[in-house]
């Protein structure tokens, strides 16, 4: 059988959240074949299929804008909630 998965994560290291990074990975059989990184601002392919998809997805401004917006809509919003929870408990 085949195994497909995707995972998204937000990474930050400061309290002001200015360095937050959104990463969106697409994985096939335990290998990342395409990735979006908000610091790069586009999809990067790591396999033949990934390169093909990255080229197509990078030519779609709406998709790039949607991925880039995840920093504000998902990462910063949830990181702020997490920071407040941690600060309240310490």
Can you read off the two tokens belonging to residue 22? Answer: 């959104």
pLDDT score recorded for residue 81: 82
Whether pLDDT at 52 is above 90: yes
Whether pLDDT at 39 is above 70: yes
Structural domain harbouring 41: 4-88
pLDDT score recorded for residue 56: 97
Task: Select from 27, 4, 22, 3 the least CA-distant residue to 12.
Answer: 22
Whether pLDDT at 80 is above 90: no
pLDDT score recorded for residue 90: 60
Whether pLDDT at 58 is above 70: yes
Please enumerate, as own/partner, the contacts of 76-80 that have beta carbons within 8 Å and a separation of 24 or more.
76/17, 76/20, 78/10, 79/10, 79/12, 79/17, 79/20, 80/17
**What is the Cα–Cα distance from 22 to 3, expressed in whole angstroms?**
23
Query: Total structural domains in the chain?
Result: 1
Provide the 8-state DSSP code for 51. H
């Amino acid at each position: 059988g085949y195994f497909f998965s995707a995972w998204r994560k937000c990474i930050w290291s400061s309290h002001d959240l200015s360095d937050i990074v959104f990463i969106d990975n697409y994985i096939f059989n335990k290998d990342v074949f395409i990735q979006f990184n908000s610091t790069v601002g586009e999809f990067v392919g790591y396999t033949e299929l990934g390169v093909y998809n990255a080229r197509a997805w990078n030519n779609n401004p709406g998709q790039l804008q949607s991925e880039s917006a995840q920093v504000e809509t998902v990462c910063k919003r949830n990181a702020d909630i997490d920071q407040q929870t941690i600060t309240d408990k310490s």
